[in-house]
C-alpha cells in the first residue's frame, strides 16, 4: 500500500498484561510515539483494564455479557 500525507496505517494489538515482556514493549512503543507527537507522557490506565462478565435476561433466556472497565469507567 502506498502512503501519502492523507493516508495513515493503523495496527491494533492485544497483549497479555500479566507478561512483563509484552508490557515493556508496549511502554517503549508508547514512549516513542508520544515523543514523536510531542504528546504528554503515557497514562498507565491501560494496564488497569478489567473485563467483567454479567448474566442478563430471565430464567429461559439467560445470556452472558462481557464488558471492559478502566478505573471505574465503562468502555
Residue 3 counted as domain residue: no
With respect to residue 14, please indicate whether it lies within any of the assigned structural domains.
no
| Residue 41 CB contacts under 8 Å (≥ 6 apart), including other chains | 31, 34
Confirm whether pTM is higher than 0.75.
Answer: no
Q: Is the pLDDT of residue 31 over 80?
A: yes
| Counted domains in the chain | 1
The answer to whether position 52 is within a domain reads: yes
Q: Is residue 36 part of a domain?
A: yes
Residue in the structure block whose three cell numbers are 493503523? 10
Within-domain flag for 31 = yes
Q: Please say if the pLDDT value at position 23 is more than 80.
A: yes
Asked if residue 57 is part of any domain, the answer here is yes
Task: Provide φ and ψ at 43, rounded to 5°.
Answer: -90, 130
Do 60 and 66 contact (CB within 8 A), yes or no?
Answer: no
Distance (Å, rounded) from C-alpha 11 to C-alpha 20?
Answer: 21
Q: Which domain holds residue 51?
A: 20-74
pLDDT confidence bin for 70, thresholds 50/70/90: low
Rounded Cα–Cα distance for residues 50 and 14 (Å) = 14
Residue 74's pLDDT band (boundaries 50, 70, 90)? very low
Amino acid at each position: 500500500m502506498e502512503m501519502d500525507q492523507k493516508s495513515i496505517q493503523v495496527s491494533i494489538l492485544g497483549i497479555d498484561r500479566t507478561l512483563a515482556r509484552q508490557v515493556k514493549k508496549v511502554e517503549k512503543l508508547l514512549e516513542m510515539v508520544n515523543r514523536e507527537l510531542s504528546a504528554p507522557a503515557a497514562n498507565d490506565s491501560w494496564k488497569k483494564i478489567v473485563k467483567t462478565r454479567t448474566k442478563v435476561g430471565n430464567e429461559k433466556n439467560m445470556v452472558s455479557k462481557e464488558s471492559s472497565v478502566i478505573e471505574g469507567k465503562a468502555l
